[in-house]
């Protein structure tokens, strides 16, 4: 079952179970995917984004909501921050399991060995290798400095 099908099934289930908050978040996800489908059609592709692209869209949505929740907390709008966190929970149901710190370290070591990286100039190769294998499973903004420390 593709990620797109899982999202459609979850939306139907949320409608049946009368879960308006979950349904609202699922509709936002579908809207973001449809926007990307339309953009892909304009770019000359078949108009259907892949599961990897959907995973990237979901990752961006989570990051946006984390930032929004932080801003709402700083502004004293705790009810809005809680709503953002609830949306994060729904979105994360469709993302691959995040690697724990030990697994991230092992993945970095394996990628460095795989591309035979020795200097900081090889950082791009290492990051490309990690992104092809672990998209959606690790936060690359946090992994980048770790790779740099290892190679630097």
Q: Output the tens digit of pLDDT for each of the chain's 152 residues.
A: 889 999 999 999 999 999 999 999 999 999 999 999 888 887 666 668 888 889 889 988 988 999 999 999 999 999 999 999 999 999 999 988 888 889 999 999 999 999 998 889 988 999 998 988 887 788 888 888 998 888 87
**Which residue ranges make up each domain of the chain?**
3-92, 101-151
Digit-coded pLDDT (tens) for 110-126: 999 999 988 899 889 99
Class of the 101-151 domain? mainly alpha
- Report the alpha-carbon distance of residue 109 to residue 113 in Å, rounded: 6
CATH fold for domain 3-92: Hypothetical Protein Yqey; Chain: A; domain1 (1.10.1510)
Angle (nearest 5°) at CA 127 between 126 and 130: 90
Please state the pTM of the whole predicted model.
0.74
Q: Are 89 and 115 in contact (CB under 8 A)?
A: no
Residues 88, 66 contacting (CB under 8 angstroms): yes
Q: 3-class secondary structure for 22-73?
A: HHHHHHHHHHHHHHHHHHHHHCCCCCCCCHHHHHHHHHHHHHHHHHHHHHHH
């Amino acid at each position: 079952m593709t990620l797109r099908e899982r999202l459609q099934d979850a939306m139907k289930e949320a409608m049946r179970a009368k879960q308006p908050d979950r349904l609202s978040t699922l509709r936002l996800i579908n809207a973001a995917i449809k926007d990307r489908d339309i953009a892909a059609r304009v770019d000359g592709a078949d108009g259907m984004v892949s599961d990897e692209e959907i995973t990237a869209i979901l990752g961006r949505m989570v990051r946006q909501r984390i930032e929004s929740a932080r801003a709402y907390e700083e502004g004293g709008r705790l009810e809005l921050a809680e709503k953002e966190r609830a949306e994060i929970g729904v979105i994360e149901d469709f993302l691959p399991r995040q690697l724990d710190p030990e697994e991230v370290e092992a993945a970095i070591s394996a990628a460095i060995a795989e591309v035979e990286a020795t200097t900081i100039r090889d950082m791009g190769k290492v990051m490309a290798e990690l992104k092809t294998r672990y998209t959606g499973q690790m936060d690359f903004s946090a992994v980048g400095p770790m790779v740099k420390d290892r190679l630097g």
